Structure 1
Amino acid sequence: SRPYAHDTYQHTMTGKEVDEETKRVARLLNTQLDQLEVSVRSANCLRAAGISTLKEMVSYSEAEMLKFRNFGRKSLNELGEILTTMDLAWGMDISKFEDVEVEGEPAGSLAEEF
Structure 2
Amino acid sequence: IEPFASTGAGLIYEANEASVFMQESKKGVRGTFAREILKEVEKLNGLPFTTRWLTRRFGKAKVNFGMRELMQAEVIRGYPPLVDKAHGIISQAEHTLLVKDKPVILTKYDDE
Q: Report the TM-score when normalising by structure 2.
A: 0.33
Q: Larger % of strand: which?
A: 2
TM-score (norm 1): 0.33
Q: Which has the higher contact order (CA 8 A, sep 6+)?
A: 2
When Rg is computed on C-alpha atoms for both structures, the one with the higher figure is: 2
